[in-house]
Structure 1
Amino acid sequence: MSKSITDYIKLSIPNKPEYVSVVRLTVAAIANRMGFNVEDIEDIKIAIAEACTNAITHGKKEDKNNFDIEFIVKDDKLTMVVCDSGRGCITDEISVPNLNDPKEGGLGIFIIKSLMDEVEITSNLGKGTIIRMSKNRGDDN
């Protein structure tokens, strides 16, 4: 019986939008190395960009603050964890946005949930939010 190996990659990114592209490039390289197809890689890049944008928007605004991203590579599953130290939110209040009534907020989480196989959001008011999302590599890759 072969033993499964798990690799962990961690990034700490400044709370600035210009660094989201670094995360997108990193996740694309990891997913490509894992053998994901181009369509899935694009979905993963969109999802991680939305999670990073959420961390930047709702995270602490001081220049010295970063948010963290962890990539967990295990067999055919890529898990990404985005953690910010912002104000947090009540996760029960996150709902499917009404696209006919555009307002700010909620669309990014909806996009992430639409593109990823598993999504878990935990948040503590005053302490921050963690978005954990996973994508499984399908047999068609």
Structure 2
Amino acid sequence: MEQNDRIHLELPAKPEYVSIARLTVSGIANRLGFSYDDIEDLKIAVAEACTNVVEHAYSEDGFISLACYIYEDRIQIVVADQGKSFDIAEVESRLGPVDAKKPVGDLKEGGLGLFLISTLMDKVEINEDNGVMLVMTKYLYESGVKESVDGISSLQSE
């Protein structure tokens, strides 16, 4: 599915700017037609990801890089430290999944936030080659019907 638009923000990695990331993603998701519950999930996931950058990425001033990639059927949100721009296609080749099935005690510091993010989003991947880059995907389910892996639609549980 072809990417339509990309919105990119660079914010100071300070707690007072996390709300700007939340509001930005909320506004984009609302415009795309996501449900209230999905928008709330997106806001929490983005806040957790940005807070991880604020708390763990820098000993001095740095930046949160937030990019939203808009597709017909989903939004892909990338939160990264180092403030570098990136090519999503190139980055996707190096991503690995976040495993929410691991016991919470096995997660490294900040891992509880990753656990929460992985339960709120449809797909979460992480790359730690050069700083940390978290790629979160949320699908837009029209009228609560989601296509399953085998192509048969199933009603999404509430």
Q: Into which bin does the TM-score normalised by the smaller protein fall?
A: 0.7 to 0.9
The higher-RCO structure (CA 8 Å, 6+ apart) is 1
1:6 Cα offset (Å): 1.1
Give the letter aligned to residue 117 of structure 2: I
Q: Distance in 2 between matches of 1:93 and 1:23?
A: 22
Change (3 A) 1:115 1:52: same
TM-score (normalised: structure 1): 0.81
Deviations 1:12-45 (A, max 9, x none): 0101011000010000000000000100000000
Question: What is the aligned partner in structure 2 of residue 118 from structure 1?
Answer: 123
1:73 paired to 2:70: yes
Alignment of 1:20-99 (within 5 A): 20-63=18-61, 65-85=62-82, 95-98=102-105
Structure 1 runs (4+) deviating above 2 angstroms are 91-96
1:56 Cα offset (Å): 1.1
**Which consecutive unaligned segments of at least 5 residues does structure 1 have?**
none
1:62 Cα offset (Å): 1.6
Give the letter aligned to residue 104 of structure 2: P
Give the letter aligned to residue 59 of structure 2: K
Q: Please tell me the root mean square deviation across aligned C-alpha atoms, in Å.
A: 2.7
Change (3 A) 1:27 1:129: same
Count of residue correspondences: 129
1:104 Cα offset (Å): 5.2
41-50 or 77-86, which deviates more: 77-86
Deviations 1:37-80 (A, max 9, x none): 100000000001010011111211322x2120100011020000
TM-score (normalised: structure 2): 0.73
**Which consecutive unaligned segments of at least 5 residues does structure 2 have?**
84-95, 145-158
1:119 Cα offset (Å): 0.5
